[in-house]
Amino acid sequence: MLIQERAIELRAPKAYLSSVARGLLIDLFRRRSVEQAYLDALKEQPEQNDISAETRHSIIETLLEIDRMLDSLSERSRQIFLMAQLDGLSYTEIGRRLGISVNTVRKHFIRAMTQCLLMIED
């Protein structure tokens, strides 16, 4: 037989199901949060464009991927990446605000950008 069917023996099935359910609820909450933030941002746009359901779904999926990528970064790398990309701060200014060297800022930023590039490749 090429594939053997094996029943997975769970030592604590209730704990396993609770863990799976908790993960699903977190994913649902995160998705709704990202979707609501997107809808709020659309409301603030001067001209509302009607977009198709497919386009809206694609945008939300992309935002969720970005959220997952940011969530995979260390707190410091995420903070530095957002300060540089959203706030437009220089490495020097970020270092000054966080009390760290410019080299440390650069290393964290490079890690974050690498994660972005890997996400784009996928």
CATH of residue 93's domain is 1.10.10.10
Q: Tell me if 2 is assigned to some domain.
A: no
Total structural domains within the chain: 2
78 and 55 housed in the same domain: no
54 and 23 housed in the same domain: yes
Distances (CA, A) of 67 to 12, 32, 34, 71, 89: 32, 12, 8, 6, 21
Domain extent, residue 86, equals 73-122
47 and 91 housed in the same domain: no
Q: How much is the pLDDT for 72?
A: 85
Q: How much is the pLDDT for 104?
A: 95
Q: How much is the pLDDT for 1?
A: 42
Q: Tell me if 3 is assigned to some domain.
A: no
- For the chain, percent of residues with pLDDT exceeding 90: 25
79 and 119 housed in the same domain: yes
Q: Tell me if 8 is assigned to some domain.
A: no
Taking every pair of C-alpha atoms in the chain, what is the biggest distance, in angstroms? 64
Q: Residue 35: is its pLDDT beyond 90?
A: no
Q: What is the pTM of this model?
A: 0.56
Interhelix angle 75-85/102-121, nearest 10 degrees: 90
Residue type, 57: H
